[in-house]
Structure 1
């Protein structure tokens, strides 16, 4: 851990990525204490202070019903990170299991599992998520389901490629000779060697999940009002450009910071862990 942290901090870009990710996570976790107006995350109306440009104490201005934009961005970060973590917590085990089984077992298992994976990969991610959300009620839970549907195949393909390579290594052949079960070989022998690639991709994907979720909300298919969401805030503010520029600019910058931070950190981890992905 010390070596990894030293390498991350010694590179200016990776240090910036680590700082941005830490800032986003800190803002999301401690939003209740940082937000100047915690109650503005919900259905609050303050018409005496509506649509105000940045000023103190509303440093990012207020929206069309008088809610503090800065406070809502902090809580939107919490929603976005929670969605990203839950999506990856579901998608990664599914994709890893499919990839391990297809790569190690081969034969019909490989053919069926990888053709199924290819079917999902052939559909543009946002289109697939929109299709799922179009069939379901636009809620946070269904949004997680929609994004998960499009995310597991990437991990299946990643782990499949690594497993195909590792299955020919000597330690796998030695485990087979001593009579180790297939499950033991897949999850105790091969999987640990897939971890660097998986961790790197998960770090990169957190930013992309936030971007996809914001895109769905921008189209009205994600988190619904009054729950704060970065995509819906950008969509609402876009109707009042350029006069009320702060309604769109600050949520857009919040998305940029999160995605940029996770991408820089993911690239740094790829170098530290020696991953090819």
Structure 2
């Protein structure tokens, strides 16, 4: 991983991600007003601009914006981890089977994958959420339903190339089972691509979840969510600019951090190969 740590942008991205993760994990101890996560507010301090008491200002209910952004990070990371924990295995298995077996199995699996890929991700998620209640669980289900095809297509391409390698032909010659060849021979060579994409996708999942919340289809208030905070604050622009600007910058920072880490991992894996 010398190539990764030798890249200043990768190190910067890792530092950003580390700070965000630590803030999220220890939010109860690192935020000044953890009680401001819920509907409770301080109407005497409502719509206060950034000052020494409230570093990022307060919202329309007098709740500390910094505290709510940190808890918004916590919620976003949980959603990203859950979505990728479900979508990645589904997509990987579909890609492995289709890429190795070929024939009608390949055709059937990849045509279903192409159907999902043909629909813009946000439109598909919005369509799914149109039939469901706007909750955290349903938001994760909607994003998962549109995310697995990207892993299926990625692993399909890798598997098609790896299936022609000598180690796969040797395993077939000695009578290894299909499961052994897929998960013990081919899958380990897919891990660099999987890890790189997962790292990049954490930021994109957070961005997608924020977009749904911005449209009113994601997590609902009073639960702190970065997208809904931007949408709520937009009603008071430009006077109370901090209500939208700080949550929007928070989204930008987390997406940038994971993108820099993902790019660094890709370059590091390419340098080692």
TM-score band (shorter)?
A: over 0.9
Partner of 2:132: 136
1:75 paired to 2:71: yes
The 3-state SS of whatever aligns with 2:41 is coil
Partner of 2:188: 192
Partner of 2:96: 100
| 8 Å Cα contact 1:20/1:257 also seen in 2 | yes
Using the TM superposition, give the Cα deviation of residue 56 of structure 1 relative to its aligned residue in structure 2, in angstroms. 2.0
RMSD, aligned α-carbons: 0.8
CA distance in 2, matches of 1:197, 1:51: 46
What is the aligned counterpart of 1:117 among 113, 120, 125? 113
What is the aligned counterpart of 2:45 among 46, 49, 52? 49
The 3-state SS of whatever aligns with 1:203 is helix
Partner of 2:212: 216
Residues 155-234 of structure 1: pairs in structure 2 closer than 5 A: 155-234=151-230
CA distance in 2, matches of 1:33, 1:137: 32
- Structure 2: tracts of 5 or more residues without a match: none
| 8 Å Cα contact 2:3/2:267 also seen in 1 | no
- Kindly provide the CA deviation profile for residues 158-184 of structure 1, in whole angstroms up to 9, marking residues without a partner as x: 000000000000000000010100010
Using the TM superposition, give the Cα deviation of residue 243 of structure 1 relative to its aligned residue in structure 2, in angstroms. 0.5
Partner of 2:21: 25
Which stretches of structure 1, 4 residues or more, deviate above 4 A after TM superposition? none
Using the TM superposition, give the Cα deviation of residue 273 of structure 1 relative to its aligned residue in structure 2, in angstroms. 1.3
The 3-state SS of whatever aligns with 1:67 is coil
- Kindly provide the CA deviation profile for residues 119-148 of structure 1, in whole angstroms up to 9, marking residues without a partner as x: 000000000000011100000000000000
Using the TM superposition, give the Cα deviation of residue 57 of structure 1 relative to its aligned residue in structure 2, in angstroms. 2.0
TM-score by length of 2: 0.98
TM-score by length of 1: 0.97
